[in-house]
């Protein structure tokens, strides 16, 4: 067999580490030098090729038989059935009875085409995606403050020279290990400051003089940020010249934080007063970055919390400077691009509002349809899932596994089963696909061409390294075939380069303007940060913000008292990730090395709490509230607060953490409350202690040794990662 190779990027997180895929009978990957990963990959990246030849790959479409089983069928029969379901549903119940649920891992081309398919081929407003569960609060806060939502409005390499980095709600040592190299400078200066109720692998990087771990109580990030802003203003640490020149709204924010004096903040958060003052002073000392992640945002007050982080950054004068800044860490591989071009319920390509008449006219012109025929804004993901089996009768899921990832998943499962028709595009029989009436097998990352947009807003090329299985198809082809069967208006190319060109035209003039880009230009290796009209924009806030007057908005927010939702138990459950697993586990639970390292969910619980409940290491416990029960092995550790327990969210069935989370959302962003759930924990005495606990690695190695006070660069190697 002739050897082939392709330079592409990792299929997992938004760091989008560069790699080369080599195909010579078998398929392997090698790290490739790139600013974000510098040749390194994490365990997920190194093992990513295993899934390409997995015996569990779907090879042909499946349809539900009368006896309830799924059986292989032809593409023509499957697509005819899909088109008939959409057509019949619309005729009987109206266009909005058809719905689409997308994913943040789809390429830009597929995300764009999915939004167009919903609005033109189906005529439905009912489209949203799983990015609503990841980035919506940070996006809402950034749009309000800056007039633009770009995760990191600066290249990630800017962090290398930071003196201080305040990281809230993100365990990057587990979620994107190559990112740690960019924290090494701050660690060397003793300035890595991590806010987390757990002593996570990232929090442990602050030890031995490398920084500070602020172990705030779960759900108290907002009071913490208000308290830090209070100290900055009260101690004269605010950058008054910057505030005057580049912002508006300072007086209202100053008044809003006046009540959060250090002692009150300490009582609420559990962070000592001295640590609060030290943190505020350190942040004001220069070369400072504030970064937020999902732990801050996945709350019913997530938009307010993200806004408070932005306010702190603006009061310190950090945003838009070359040596300082604020940003939020996008999680999913194309979480940034996936929300820019039409998957969100209220958006058109280019990050335009679907209710903006000019945006509707522009995009409809590109699509060759009447702008009056485009539907209105739809409803966000959690509300959309709530309509299944009721107003929504037929659902297409592409790139998501909602039976594991959505809040209150048992209710979601029941609603999926109540649909007339469930259609799922996937490359494995995920837990959601198992419920489908029609399953359509699709290509994986190394089998397709396209583009992704990284957490920096950098548009990069995904390249095909090998052909997919004979029976698998691209979602672009699937949408084109269904649109043809429905007699849909517009054109439906199956060529990713042509779809990207159309996306570029549709985005022109929008906030996320890709109009100057093409596959051919990206193939030259240029740096392409959006907006890209005629040139790249790596730092879009250097001269001004995206509001008409060029000023950033300081927006006062308040920390609300605990609400009646804080019920159902005496402990607070927080959810998160393992290093070796990813998202709903559809991919990583099928990789032998990764699943062997983390084969099951484990409940982290403090020794004092475990002792009180009669729980010992390795015991099977039941974690319960009024929505359900999860069973997991106990990991008794001082890395968690005594009032808090932790579960990973990668597992299905009895181990699914989202059996417990509540479908209650932020009023601005519609982000569900994933990180603050009241539960009870009890020993299941009928099951004996099993295997010992595999604790999260404390150190993550880089080429030449571990990241420590002496190390700044380096890249994760396969050997070092497993050391």
Mean pLDDT confidence for 509-513: 96
Are 341 and 111 contacting, i.e. CB atoms less than 8 angstroms apart?
A: yes
Domain with CATH 2.40.40.20 in the chain: 571-683
Q: Mean pLDDT over all residues of the chain? A: 91
- Say if CB 713 and CB 184 are below 8 A apart: yes
Helix (H, G, I), strand (E, B) or coil at 496: helix
**Residue 10: per-residue pLDDT:** 96
The answer, yes or no, to whether residue 552 has pLDDT greater than 90, is yes
Residue 604 scores a pLDDT above 90: yes
pLDDT at 722: 27
Output the DSSP codes for 588-647. GGG-HHHHHHS-S-EEEE-HHHHHHHT--TT-EEEEEETTEEEEEEEEE-TTB-TTEEEE
Q: Is the pLDDT of residue 690 over 70?
A: no
pLDDT digits 0-9 by tens, 278-316: 999 999 999 999 999 988 888 899 899 999 999 999 999
Q: Is the pLDDT of residue 699 over 50?
A: no
Distance CA 377, CA 484 (A): 25
Is 649 a residue whose pLDDT tops 50?
A: yes
240 C-beta neighbours (distance < 10 Å), count: 12
What are 125-164's pLDDT values in tens digits?
A: 999 999 888 888 999 999 999 999 999 999 999 999 999 9
pLDDT at 562: 56
221-254 pLDDT, tens digit each: 999 999 999 999 999 999 999 999 999 999 999 9
Region of poorest pLDDT, from 95-99, 357-361, 693-697: 693-697
| SS3 label, residue 435 | helix
State the angle between helix axes of 302-315 and 221-234 in degrees (0 to 180), rounded to the nearest 10: 20
Residue whose entry in the numeric block shows the structure tokens 């587990």: 174
| Least confident stretch, 83-87, 584-588, 626-630, 692-696 | 692-696
CA angle 246, 249, 255 (to 5 degrees): 130
pLDDT at residue 74, rounded to an integer: 98
- For residue 598, the model assigns a pLDDT of 92
Record the pTM.
Answer: 0.92
Task: State residue 294's pLDDT score.
Answer: 83
pLDDT the model gives residue 2: 67
Q: Which CATH class is domain 136-328?
A: alpha beta
| pLDDT of 569 | 67
Has domain 62-134+334-494 been given CATH number 3.40.50.740? yes
Q: What percent of the chain has pLDDT over 90?
A: 83
Model pLDDT, residue 585: 82
pLDDT digits (tens, 9 = 90+) for 33-81: 999 999 999 999 999 999 999 999 999 999 999 999 999 999 999 999 9
Please report the DSSP string for 200-221 in residue order. Answer: -HHHHTTTTTTEEEE-PPTT-H
Q: Can you read off the two tokens belonging to residue 163?
A: 């003196």
Q: What are the backbone angles phi and psi of residue 383, rounded to the nearest 5°?
A: -65, -40
- Delimiting residues of CATH 3.40.50.740 domain(s) in the chain: 62-134+334-494
pLDDT-based confidence at residue 515 (cuts at 50, 70, 90): very high
pLDDT reading at 409 higher than 70:
yes
CATH 2.40.40.20 fits 571-683, yes or no: yes
Q: Is 155 helix (H, G, I), strand (E, B) or coil?
A: coil
Q: How far is CA 670 from the centre of its chain?
A: 14
Choice between 157 and 332, residue whose per-residue pLDDT is larger: 157
The end-to-end CA distance of the chain, in Å, is 34
Mean pLDDT across the stretch 475-503?
98
Short-list 507, 532, 198, 114, CA closest to 349: 507
**Is cis: bond before 531, omega within 30 of 0?**
yes
Does 1 score more than 60 pLDDT? no
Report whether pLDDT(337) > 90: no
Does residue 566 carry a pLDDT above 50?
Answer: no
Q: Compute CA 710 distance to the chain's CA centroid, rounded to the nearest angstrom.
A: 32
Q: Look up residue 651 and give its two tokens.
A: 């597992």
Residue 525 pLDDT > 90 = yes
**Do residues 633 and 603 make contact, with C-beta atoms less than 8 angstroms apart?**
yes
pLDDT at 708 over 50: no
Q: How confident is the model at residue 191 (pLDDT cuts 50, 70, 90)?
A: very high
Q: Is 545 helix (H, G, I), strand (E, B) or coil?
A: coil
């Amino acid at each position: 067999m002739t050897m082939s190779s392709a330079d592409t990027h990792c299929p997992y997180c938004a760091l989008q580490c560069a790699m080369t895929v080599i195909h010579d009978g078998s398929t392997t990957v090698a790290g490739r030098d790139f600013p974000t990963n510098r040749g390194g990959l994490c365990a997920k990246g190194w093992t990513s090729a295993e899934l390409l030849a997995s015996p569990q790959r779907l090879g042909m479409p499946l349809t539900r038989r009368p006896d309830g089983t799924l059986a292989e069928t032809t593409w023509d029969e499957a697509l005819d059935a899909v088109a008939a379901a959409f057509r019949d549903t619309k005729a009987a119940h109206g266009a909005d009875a058809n719905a689409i649920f997308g994913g943040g891992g789809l390429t830009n081309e597929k995300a764009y085409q999915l939004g167009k398919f919903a609005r033109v081929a189906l005529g439905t407003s009912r489209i949203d995606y799983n990015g609503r569960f990841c980035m919506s609060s940070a996006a809402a806060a950034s749009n309000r403050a800056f007039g633009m939502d770009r995760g990191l409005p600066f290249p990630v390499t800017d962090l290398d020279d930071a003196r201080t980095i305040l990281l809230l709600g993100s365990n990057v040592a587990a979620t994107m290990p190559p990112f740690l190299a960019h924290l090494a400078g701050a660690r060397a200066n003793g300035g890595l400051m991590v806010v987390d109720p757990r002593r996570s692998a990232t929090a442990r990087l602050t030890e031995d003089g490398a920084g500070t771990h602020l172990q705030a109580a779960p759900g108290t990030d907002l009071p913490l940020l208000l308290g830090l802003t209070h100290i900055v203003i009260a101690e004269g640490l605010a950058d008054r010249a910057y505030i005057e020149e580049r912002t508006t709204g300072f007086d209202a924010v100053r008044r809003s934080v006046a009540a959060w004096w250090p002692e009150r903040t300490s009582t609420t958060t559990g962070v000592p007063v001295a640590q609060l003052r030290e943190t505020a002073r350190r942040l004001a000392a220069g070369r400072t970055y504030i970064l937020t992640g999902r732990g801050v945002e996945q709350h019913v007050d997530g938009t307010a919390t993200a806004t408070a982080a932005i306010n702190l950054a603006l009061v310190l004068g950090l945003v838009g400077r070359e040596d300082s800044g604020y940003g939020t860490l996008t999680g999913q591989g194309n979480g940034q691009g996936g929300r820019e071009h039409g998957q969100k319920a209220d958006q058109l390509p280019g990050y335009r509002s679907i209710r903006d008449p000019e945006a509707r006219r522009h995009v409809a012109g590109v699509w060759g349809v009447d702008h009056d025929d485009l539907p209105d804004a739809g409803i966000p993901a959690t509300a959309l899932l709530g309509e299944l089996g009721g107003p929504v009768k037929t659902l297409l899921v592409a790139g998501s596994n909602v039976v594991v990832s959505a809040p209150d998943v048992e209710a979601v499962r029941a609603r999926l089963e109540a649909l007339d028709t469930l259609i799922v595009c996937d490359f494995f029989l995920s837990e959601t696909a198992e419920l489908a009436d029609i399953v359509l097998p699709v290509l994986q990352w190394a089998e397709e061409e396209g583009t992704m947009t990284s957490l920096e807003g950098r548009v990069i090329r995904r390249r095909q390294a090998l052909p997919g299985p004979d029976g698998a198809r691209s979602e672009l082809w699937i949408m084109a075939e269904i649109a043809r069967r429905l007699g849909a208006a517009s054109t439906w190319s199956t060529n990713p380069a042509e779809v990207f060109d159309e996306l570029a035209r549709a985005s022109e003039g929008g906030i996320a303007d890709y109009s100057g880009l093409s596959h051919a230009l990206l193939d030259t290796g240029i740096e392409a940060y959006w907006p890209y009209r005629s040139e790249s924009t790596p730092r879009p806030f250097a001269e001004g913000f995206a509001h008409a007057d060029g000023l950033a908005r300081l927006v006062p927010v308040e920390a609300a008292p605990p609400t009646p939702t804080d019920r159902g138990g005496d402990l607070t459950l927080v959810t998160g990730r393992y290093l070796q697993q990813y998202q709903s586990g559809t991919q990583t639970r099928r990789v032998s090395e990764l699943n062997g390292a983390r084969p099951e969910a484990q409940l982290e619980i403090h020794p004092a709490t475990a002792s009180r409940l009669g729980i010992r290491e390795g015991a099977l416990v039941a974690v319960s509230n009024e929505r359900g029960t999860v069973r997991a092995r106990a990991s008794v550790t001082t890395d968690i607060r005594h009032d808090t327990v932790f579960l990973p969210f990668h597992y299905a069935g009895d181990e699914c953490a989202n059996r417990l989370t509540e479908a209650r959302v932020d009023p601005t962003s519609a982000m569900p409350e994933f990180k603050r759930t009241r539960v009870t924990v009890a020993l299941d005495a009928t099951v004996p202690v099993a295997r010992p606990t595999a604790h999260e690695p404390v150190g993550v190695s880089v080429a030449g040794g571990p990241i420590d006070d002496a190390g700044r660069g380096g890249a994760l190697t396969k050997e070092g990662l497993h050391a």
